[in-house]
Structure 1
Amino acid sequence: MSDTPAPVTPSRSLFIAGAGVLLLSIPFFAFGLGFLDTKARVEFSCQEGGPCTLVRAGWLTREAPVTFRLKQMTEARVDRRRSSREGENIYRPVLVTPQGDFPLAAHWMEKERQAQAPVISVNRFLEAGGLPAFSMWHDDRMRASRVGMLFTGTAVVVFLLGVGLTWRAVRRRGQERARGPEVSTG
């Protein structure tokens, strides 16, 4: 057994490590919160006789609503395209206006029947001259925010590690002060 004490990390080194780890958590928080706020909830509602509003929302914020008068809406249709992975068709409901096409769902769907349901509702509303009022929504926020949850979870773990290192540095600094200045002999 040796008489030499175990090496002790000085408080200054612990402070530097703690600060570095705390700074490392910032980009994880930024990207995590950004991905969590992906606008994957689409709400479309029409009052009797119009107007209709389209709102996209994430977990943290909502976009300003887009309002359409009854005369501005041409139709609703299902857009189709080939999936890059399986080569099969994927579908998305879209509101067609002279200003452009506005998706009624944030992501493409694998089943045409699922994409067709909102299209039928909107076209019935338009054919009936804006009667009766209706509201619908498509919420894909859970699917869209998986990456955000991973980044945010990592940010919390890294942040807690940084706080732990900083706390150890504060305690070590107190121990160093209690011992007093060390005199080196050389």
Structure 2
Amino acid sequence: MGRHATKSRQGAALVVAAGLLASGAHAEEASAACTATLSGKRVMVRPEARAFISPELDRLVRLGLAGKLEVELTFWRRRSFWFDAHLDSARVTQVLAFTRDGYRLDGRELTGGVGTLELERVAWTLDTRPGADEHFVVQVEVRLQVVTAASLGRMARWLTQGEASSSGTPVLGSLLRTVAEDLARQATGRCDVSRQP
């Protein structure tokens, strides 16, 4: 009886994982964008993440799991006929959570919903005032992850009543990593730095 129940739980865990994998195909494509302005020697960047919350991720966050948004911004000076020059980088981690009042990003209520997430602003200060012929660009990379392979592994162990042999198999570990990656959304975007008059 115990052996049959364990196999049923393993089967249930695989069905849940396969269902999560299959349902991600209908999600809208995530995108990242930014607006950057130069005023004197200061560059202000306002990054955004669009369509990052798929129905599956929405369900998981509403159930109480927090989403971790990792934002990486890279500041470049454009150079004609050559590679752009890397000037600076910034990495920001923000937490997306759901409360009774709705979604919150780092504790700030998202009154406009989660279709477009206005992320934390980043500012850089240049050493010298740039010339009129100098042009800059900012690259933004955004990644949202709600569950990890480790948390899925804990769920699988719970479903299989903590059997070490079932959750430690290479096939199940690979499946859990695949599901965790499928439940992560990422996008990259670029924006030219405009000058304020």
Task: State if a TM-score over 0.5 links the two structures.
Answer: no
Structure ID, larger Rg: 1
Question: Taking structure 1 as the reference length, what is the TM-score of the superposition?
Answer: 0.31
Q: Compare the two structures and name the one with the higher strand fraction.
A: 2
Question: Taking structure 2 as the reference length, what is the TM-score of the superposition?
Answer: 0.30
Q: Compare the two structures and name the one with the higher helix fraction.
A: 1
